[in-house]
A = this chain, B = another copy of it.
């Protein structure tokens, strides 16, 4: 999170653990695999937090607001994982080595599945009338997730900030994005 993937050496990782590289390499075969584990966990946390709202009964507009709010909140509460993942949106840059292809496809699938949750609710909303009807749901879900994911980059906990403040912030973000900027 602090220096980015490329500028963090395995020695840096070990030092943070108060150990040496041997320990790290005992648990992770390579530096990319360590990153992949971080990325996967970031996605897992998001999916587990957000999925319940997808299929809950009620208007799609309300579900989408809950999803957006939960997404923002989860970013804030697992920031080291989420910022690391958010700063590497170009996952394919690892793709040169054939050994990583399978893992990469898997992670990209996780991300696609996650984005599809939002697309689905957007489409639900077009049907039940609680959300606008977009010519391309993919475009709408991308701008929505773009606004939300950017939180992982700029968010920094304020001194003394607690869970309640974070929830309020997440709610404000969700409300802003869902309702737009026009009066």
Q: Is A21 located at the chain interface by the 8 A CB criterion?
A: no
Does B173 lie within 8 Å of A143, measured CB to CB?
Answer: yes
Does B153 lie within 8 Å of A143, measured CB to CB?
Answer: no
Q: Is A26 located at the chain interface by the 8 A CB criterion?
A: no
Does A147 lie within 8 Å of B90, measured CB to CB?
Answer: no
Does B140 lie within 8 Å of A151, measured CB to CB?
Answer: no
Interface residues in A111-167 (C-beta closer than 8 Å to B): 122, 125, 129-135, 139-140, 142-151, 153-154
- Chain B nearest CB, measured from A68 CB (Å): 9
- Chain B nearest CB, measured from A93 CB (Å): 5
* Interface of chain A, main secondary structure: helix
Does A181 lie within 8 Å of B142, measured CB to CB?
Answer: no
Does B147 lie within 8 Å of A144, measured CB to CB?
Answer: yes
Does A146 lie within 8 Å of B149, measured CB to CB?
Answer: yes
Instruction: Supply 14 A–B pairs (Cβ within 8 Å), ascending by A.
Output: A122-B181, A129-B183, A130-B182, A130-B183, A143-B150, A143-B177, A146-B148, A146-B151, A146-B153, A147-B177, A149-B150, A177-B180, A177-B181, A180-B181
Contact with B along A74-110 (1 / 0, CB 8 A): 0000000000000101100100000000000000000
Q: Which residue of B lies closest to A121 (CB)?
A: B181
Q: How far is the CA of A172 from the CA of B151 in the complex (A)?
A: 23
Q: Which residue of B lies closest to A138 (CB)?
A: B154
Q: Which residue of B lies closest to A1 (CB)?
A: B90
Q: How far is the CA of A5 from the CA of B64 in the complex (A)?
A: 36
